[in-house]
Structure 1
Amino acid sequence: MSKQLTLGILAHVDAGKTTLSEAMLYTAGTIRKLGRVDNGDSFFDNYEVEKNRGITVFSKQARLNWNDSQITILDTPGHDDFSAEMERVLDVIDYALLVVSGVDGPQSHTETVWRLLRTRKIPTFVFINKMDLAIADRHEQISRIKGRLGEGFVDFSVGNNDEDFIDGVTFYSPELAEDFLNNLKLSEEGVRRAIRECQIFPCLFGSALHQDGVDKLLDVISTYTCGFDELRGGTSSDDKMGALVYKIARDQRDERISFIRVMQGVLHLKDNVAVRTESGELLHEKINQIRIYSGQKYTMVDSASPGDICAITGVNSSRAGGGIGALAEDETRNGIIEPYLSYIIIPEERVEQNKFVADMRVLEEEDPKLHISVEQGLRGVNIRLMGEVQQEILETQIMNRFGYRVRFEAGNIIYKETVIEAAEGIGHFEPLKHYAEVHLIIRPGERGSGIVTDSIIPEDVLSRNWQNLILSHLDERVFRGVLIGAPLTDVRITLAAGKAHEKHTEGGDFRQATYRAVRNGLLRGNCRILEPWFSFEIKLPSANIGMAMTDIGNASGSFSEPIIDGDMSTLKGKAPAVSLIDYQRKLTSYTGGRGHISCMLIGYDFCHNESEVIEESKYEQDKDETETGDSIFCYHGAGRTVKWDEVQDYMHLPFVLEEEKDSGLSEDSARAETMAAGRKLASDAELLAIFERTYGKISNGTLVKHKTKPKESEYRAMEQQKRSLHRLERIGKPDTHFVIDGYNLINADEHMKELSKADIGAARDHLINILANYRGYLGCKMTIVFDAYRVPYSFGRKYKVSDTEVVYTKENETADAYIAELTKEIGKRESITVVSSDALVQEMSLGHGALRISSREFLLDIETALQEIREFLDENR
């Protein structure tokens, strides 16, 4: 039986991706005639806008058979403006084929695609195209790719007995190296596994236009890939049917089509399948047709099996990125790529507003990233786009499909807001016969993390049903910031306290309390504006390089040293998107048309001109009718509104964040103790008070005892204090500043090391919580450094968790280098102890006068401290 797999073909513009797709179909005998993108007769690009522009706008599919493999090809857009369409395809492919131009090499968009592929851990093949025009040889081509994308690329165009091939695959795969040493040959299964696990990325070469190297590419793909069943660990026709929707479209008769991949079970014609609507309602809709598309043509079938890519009609509530059947309950996949420009789009006068909104909703079904919104009383709609090309395509699309023209008002940057320190928000909702109070702690999150929610309330304090309801309210809407009303992002919201009434609380009460608590926390906290940032690459005459460097510097951007190659130079760096959107026009002007800039959106970071943006927005936080941080309390039998800055005087539950600050324990440490014990424990401040009332004051690390003779239990406590002081003397002075190599410490502990394999973020959080607790117990200073130098475009970040400083290094800055600089900087005025088992870190630290302790020894000290805390708590409950 032939194996079945789905291959997504991805590339930057003009790499020859669609030409390669057609060459593969032609070589396999699926089509008899080759079309040309340039001539507008391509097999794939059959939409009018695609023929006119010569680019792929919508993903397409086709099937081919090669050797024992049935391969479904998904051809995707290559232009930056249509990256969201490309990203949705990644949810349903087994392997990716990345096409790189041998003439131009990897581009900014190639990096975008690569980042998405690595995030999803999709095994990838690479085809270097246009080798008939390229100057660089194969070795140099792979070197260029490694320099831009990283390691793991191996030339598969040579035989598998070739010395370079063997060296390449064994260098990146220890398992293959061991296999070769034992057997003096490489097994196909071993190479397949290394590709599947993304250890190696096979590279092939050729010219799609001349069908050169295409048969070799198909041979390698069919030989070194696994089928859908093997990749998914086996599937059964007895499983309940579940499928993922990756695209919504309309056919020539305007019938709605959902393009899906069946992930489990069998889909039959006339089946009633579960579908989750945008509002969250679960419906059942009947399958009218199952279509297998190849280009624009299709055949109808009665069923689709696991792994099949097909299109269905009759389902009108499906959403791109969502599931149907058994996967209807799964969370909709929103993807990473988000538009960063906001426009107002207005139709010509003869078109009614209601009809225009309905038409735009149809387009939004096909591309959810458009984010259509309507402002009451204003004509037209708000829409989000990626750039000018998408705007032009959309304008043509509306004319062709709906028969009228539209105009776009100038695009504006989409800003976002976040917080830079923890704040507690209070929401109280208590009109007559209603009751709910919610306390939320809003903390800074990692860049690109969105909004992450959790709870630390024991179930015997607030039932799990109420907690789940509150958390669902945090996920169901977009919250707006208080500076310019921009969407809130990159925060962690913790449900810290909540209260319900046995008789009067209803579900809607907690919705009101939750919304008010979020706004209250933002008003009480410290917010900042985020803006989109680009990485850029400018190629221009060397005589003009000074102008480019000046412009980037004035735009608050940064750049590395220019690369000068004769009379042309290249400048690379990063800058705010708003500064680069129209820079090509200026570049063309002052270089006489010889300059070119390519940009890639790398995410959001702090706004470079925040005060100007706030002033221009004219946003009045107290007049935003959709957001309020005020609360409602019951007063003489009626609801009374209390302003956000007075709520703390009326709230029914105490502050949680202030207790944490007083105790010196991190919030997650407090949660761990609370969940373990099922009841509230004494804080560090309370324990210290007990200590001093019973045994005397602690001054400069020395216990000043009472004159009264201590009891036996007091002797034990004093011995414990001596052990603590002894430990501090051994690992550092009482006023020491611990500088900790975070990942080194994680790998030194078996539990955290195993946790990191499944979820590195959870392992980091676990370590931070333990160390914050430990720091609070000792009363010392502490900095935890996490190595982020391999994270592309990392800006570096610092924040505090219960007075423990957490640092993520910048791109190309290792933890070793950061620790060395830090110890050099503060070593003259503070006593430093560096925690790491890394010999280089220890050597550099010693050179700067710091004490050293290995990670394993430090973990033993932490365990001792935790045991002392537990003993002390047990004796003083």
Structure 2
Amino acid sequence: MPSTPLNLGILAHVDAGKTSLTERLLYEHGVIAALGSVDAGSTQTDSGELERERGITIRSAVASFRAGDRRVNLIDTPGHPDFIAEVERALAVLDAAVLVVSAVEGVQAQTRVLWRSLRRLGLPVLFFVNKIDRTGARTAGLVHELRSKLDADVIAVSAVRDPGTPAATARPDRSLDELHPLIAEETAAGRLHPVFFGSALTGEGVRELTAGLTTLLRPPPPGRTTSGLVFAVERAPGGEKIAYLRLFGGEVRERQRLRLTRPGGAVTGRVTGLSVPGTGERVLRAGGIARVRGLTGARVGDRLGDPPREAARQFSPPGLEALVEPRHPGQEAELHAALTGLADEDPLIRTRAAGAGRTSVLLYGAVQREVIADRLARDFGVEAVFGDVQPVYAERLIGTGHAERAFDKHRGNDFWATIGLRVEPGPRGSGLRYRHGAEWGAVPRAFHVATEEAVRRTLQQGLSGWEVLDCTVTVTRIGWKSPISTAADFRGLAPVVLLRALQRAGTRVHEPCHTVEVEVPADALSTVLGAMSALGAELSGSVPRADGWVITGVLPSRLVQDLARALPGLTHGEGALWSRPGPDRPVRGTPPVRARLDGDPLDREAYLRFLAAPSLTR
């Protein structure tokens, strides 16, 4: 029976050298015949043209090598903040991590953000201090910096000679040999973090790091029941979907039928192909990762069985939205299909038809927008034009409302259908609850389905054009006229009735917020507090820590990036920001309104013209 592999993440701030370290490890262990270069765009894990050109890692890549009797799966993760969700998903399938720090630049703000995420998961972490051969490289001072700025229990396990020169070397500190069993025990438990020095460019210190991977880290014991997580999805050259599955327990084989679950639903599929990276195996065993074919409905975040809680946790959706249209008329359908395909790879990039051949896309930031545009052109042959980016708001019900329309063409009902709907607010986080208060058998099933589909679609655009959150919709009345009524009558009438009910209940526009923690040096406290207050933050406290302060509060999600961009200038580059989704709050001042994309069911003439228009123009 093959030994359980170690799934290892390599993380770092931009330009610290994590992709170069990955290349060096693969080269040293015979996986690749020549070293790739980030500058030359020839790296193994940055396999996409766009990644090669930009010199940044965009999507998590998996490569594998064998060190002694241990197989190591390397997951090389993005370093750019726009792809932090990609990093978070990769962390969910790791057994341990190597956090790369530049010996020249030292601990950066993004280093601290990544460290915070690793600590939250309790993962064992090794440090690799890269670029010891660069001018300005530090050793002892950097170990102190790791302790003070990260509040990390670290121990240097290698010593450096001639740092900051091309002749720099790193060798094991033999005075620690007697302590090795204790260091290994504490490291595997995530309580102690050994620091290795070296240069990914020259290979110096990489052999010692490899020894640390095999002697200081160990995979967790496999689970007894079959469970796993889809943490990445890619497309083969022919368009076939390939899912990356991390298995926590059990086995998965070719021709096996799998059921994947996600919030609100499930998909099934048969495994038509399975390959375990770095091996010829066609069986995925507990602890391993495989590229799986045949799961055509799979999406990132799908669960197999009951994976560990942290692996299955949900991530907040992007807080920005942009409308996209093709540069060349006639490619509207191709654009929408391409964006839907990209959303399969990353479901947090939600898409929806936006009318007039446009598609709405949710985003994390400007770099991600550029990446999507480039992928649309390269992979799908569609040049896209992005409109202005705007924050994504939501609506919440103020009270309860009811409305109904009976079929009577002489009294303003343009549809052969009768519908009554009641709306009422639900508990936060409850989502949409759709209930049948009218007799199910009163109309054919297809009419019930059409009504529910229309209700769910309409709630994506409330009275101010934003999605209505956490509400209960009850069908109080439903009727039809045989044989005239069709499902289209119910799809057409339901939005009219629903919006009338929303009008009577009233809605208030809310803006999404993040709970933030900002670590700043002592002399920047008042400056940062003032900047946060000016951005509309609700401050909840400031606590002294080490050589600075930690400020906590709630900030509108649309302004988190503004704070992140301003923080280096306010703190001389020493500030660090952590954020996570927090409770939304009512918009202060005039609430923003988003243009409707459904013809406005409250405007009879405009709505009827919308329904009569060809589908591609809507």
> Structures share a fold, TM > 0.5?
yes
- The equivalences for 1:405-416 within 5 A come to 405-416=383-394
Instruction: For residue 260 of structure 1, report the CA deviation from its aligned partner.
Output: 1.2
Instruction: For residue 6 of structure 1, report the CA deviation from its aligned partner.
Output: 0.7
Question: Equivalent of 2:369, from 365, 373, 391?
Answer: 391
Instruction: For residue 70 of structure 1, report the CA deviation from its aligned partner.
Output: 1.3
Provide the C-alpha distance between the structure 2 equivalents of 1:553 and 1:440, rounded to a whole number of angstroms: 35
2:227 is equivalent to residue 248 of structure 1: no
Offset from partner CA, 1:17-71 (integer Å, 9 cap, x none): 1111122223333333221111111121121101111111121111122233211
| Map of 2:378 onto structure 1 | 400
Question: Equivalent of 2:341, from 362, 386, 395?
Answer: 362
Provide the C-alpha distance between the structure 2 equivalents of 1:607 and 1:526, rounded to a whole number of angstroms: 13
Offset from partner CA, 1:65-110 (integer Å, 9 cap, x none): 2233211111111111122222222232222222233333344433
2:32 is equivalent to residue 31 of structure 1: yes
2:315 is equivalent to residue 320 of structure 1: no
| Map of 2:189 onto structure 1 | 194
- The equivalences for 1:394-473 within 5 A come to 394-416=372-394, 442=426, 450-451=429-430
| Map of 1:341 onto structure 2 | 320
Q: Is the 8 A contact 2:196 2:209 kept in 1?
A: yes
Q: Is the 8 A contact 2:229 2:311 kept in 1?
A: no
Question: What amino acid is the match of 2:210?
Answer: L
Which structure features the higher share of helix residues?
A: 1
Q: Is the 8 A contact 2:227 2:250 kept in 1?
A: yes
Cα separation, partners in 2 of 1:161 and 1:252, compared to 1, 3 Å: same
| Map of 1:84 onto structure 2 | 85
| Map of 1:742 onto structure 2 | none
| Map of 1:155 onto structure 2 | 155
Q: Is the 8 A contact 1:35 1:43 kept in 2?
A: yes
Cα separation, partners in 2 of 1:251 and 1:437, compared to 1, 3 Å: closer
Question: Equivalent of 1:372, from 331, 351, 357?
Answer: 351
Provide the C-alpha distance between the structure 1 equivalents of 2:430 and 2:109, rounded to a whole number of angstroms: 28
2:203 is equivalent to residue 211 of structure 1: yes
Provide the C-alpha distance between the structure 2 equivalents of 1:353 and 1:397, rounded to a whole number of angstroms: 16
Query: What SS class does the counterpart of residue 373 from structure 1 fall into?
Result: strand
| Map of 1:273 onto structure 2 | 258
Cα separation, partners in 2 of 1:132 and 1:572, compared to 1, 3 Å: farther
Cα separation, partners in 2 of 1:571 and 1:223, compared to 1, 3 Å: closer
Q: Is the 8 A contact 2:532 2:563 kept in 1?
A: no
| Map of 2:106 onto structure 1 | 105
| Map of 2:275 onto structure 1 | 291
| Map of 1:748 onto structure 2 | none
- The equivalences for 1:524-563 within 5 A come to 529-532=510-513, 554-556=534-536
Question: What amino acid is the match of 1:530?
Answer: E
Q: Is the 8 A contact 1:361 1:372 kept in 2?
A: yes
- Could you tell me which runs of 5 or more consecutive residues in structure 2 were left unpaired when the two chains were aligned: 159-171, 408-417, 434-452, 477-493, 543-548, 603-618
Cα separation, partners in 2 of 1:152 and 1:520, compared to 1, 3 Å: farther
- The equivalences for 1:702-721 within 5 A come to none
Query: What SS class does the counterpart of residue 83 from structure 1 fall into?
Result: helix
Instruction: For residue 300 of structure 1, report the CA deviation from its aligned partner.
Output: 5.5
Provide the C-alpha distance between the structure 2 equivalents of 1:351 and 1:293, rounded to a whole number of angstroms: 41
2:331 is equivalent to residue 352 of structure 1: yes
Query: What SS class does the counterpart of residue 92 from structure 1 fall into?
Result: coil
Query: What SS class does the counterpart of residue 209 from structure 2 fall into?
Result: helix
Cα separation, partners in 2 of 1:90 and 1:136, compared to 1, 3 Å: same
Which structure features the higher share of strand residues?
A: 2
| Map of 2:43 onto structure 1 | 42
Query: What SS class does the counterpart of residue 189 from structure 2 fall into?
Result: helix
2:263 is equivalent to residue 263 of structure 1: no
Question: What amino acid is the match of 1:381?
Answer: T
Cα separation, partners in 2 of 1:601 and 1:624, compared to 1, 3 Å: farther
Question: What amino acid is the match of 2:230?
Answer: V
Question: What amino acid is the match of 1:410?
Answer: D
| Map of 2:165 onto structure 1 | none
Question: With CA pairs under 8 Å and 6+ residues apart, which has the higher RCO, 1 or 2?
Answer: 2
Instruction: For residue 191 of structure 1, report the CA deviation from its aligned partner.
Output: 2.1
Equivalent pairs counted in the alignment come to: 540
- TM-score normalised to structure 1 length: 0.50
Q: Is the 8 A contact 2:299 2:346 kept in 1?
A: no
Provide the C-alpha distance between the structure 2 equivalents of 1:189 and 1:81, rounded to a whole number of angstroms: 35
Q: Is the 8 A contact 1:109 1:600 kept in 2?
A: no
Cα separation, partners in 2 of 1:193 and 1:5, compared to 1, 3 Å: closer
Query: What SS class does the counterpart of residue 225 from structure 1 fall into?
Result: coil
Offset from partner CA, 1:134-153 (integer Å, 9 cap, x none): 7574454344445554x343
Provide the C-alpha distance between the structure 2 equivalents of 1:534 and 1:278, rounded to a whole number of angstroms: 24
Cα separation, partners in 2 of 1:105 and 1:573, compared to 1, 3 Å: farther
Instruction: For residue 222 of structure 1, report the CA deviation from its aligned partner.
Output: 1.5
Query: What SS class does the counterpart of residue 208 from structure 1 fall into?
Result: coil
Question: What amino acid is the match of 1:392?
Answer: E
Question: Equivalent of 1:227, from 209, 219, 223?
Answer: 219
Cα separation, partners in 2 of 1:204 and 1:484, compared to 1, 3 Å: farther
Q: Is the 8 A contact 2:3 2:70 kept in 1?
A: yes
| Map of 1:15 onto structure 2 | 16
Cα separation, partners in 2 of 1:222 and 1:369, compared to 1, 3 Å: same
Q: Is the 8 A contact 2:422 2:501 kept in 1?
A: no
Cα separation, partners in 2 of 1:2 and 1:280, compared to 1, 3 Å: closer
Question: Equivalent of 2:282, from 302, 321, 324?
Answer: 302
Provide the C-alpha distance between the structure 2 equivalents of 1:279 and 1:250, rounded to a whole number of angstroms: 25
2:62 is equivalent to residue 61 of structure 1: yes
Instruction: For residue 404 of structure 1, report the CA deviation from its aligned partner.
Output: 2.9
Q: Is the 8 A contact 1:7 1:72 kept in 2?
A: yes
- The equivalences for 1:718-757 within 5 A come to none
Provide the C-alpha distance between the structure 2 equivalents of 1:618 and 1:437, rounded to a whole number of angstroms: 24
- Could you tell me which runs of 5 or more consecutive residues in structure 1 were left unpaired when the two chains were aligned: 167-184, 455-472, 500-512, 562-569, 626-877
Q: Is the 8 A contact 1:534 1:599 kept in 2?
A: no
The share of aligned pairs that are identical, in percent, is 25
Q: Is the 8 A contact 1:277 1:317 kept in 2?
A: no
- The equivalences for 1:604-683 within 5 A come to 604=582, 610-614=588-592, 617=594
Offset from partner CA, 1:687-740 (integer Å, 9 cap, x none): xxxxxxxxxxxxxxxxxxxxxxxxxxxxxxxxxxxxxxxxxxxxxxxxxxxxxx
Q: Is the 8 A contact 1:537 1:571 kept in 2?
A: yes
Provide the C-alpha distance between the structure 2 equivalents of 1:84 and 1:141, rounded to a whole number of angstroms: 29
Cα separation, partners in 2 of 1:577 and 1:425, compared to 1, 3 Å: closer
2:85 is equivalent to residue 93 of structure 1: no
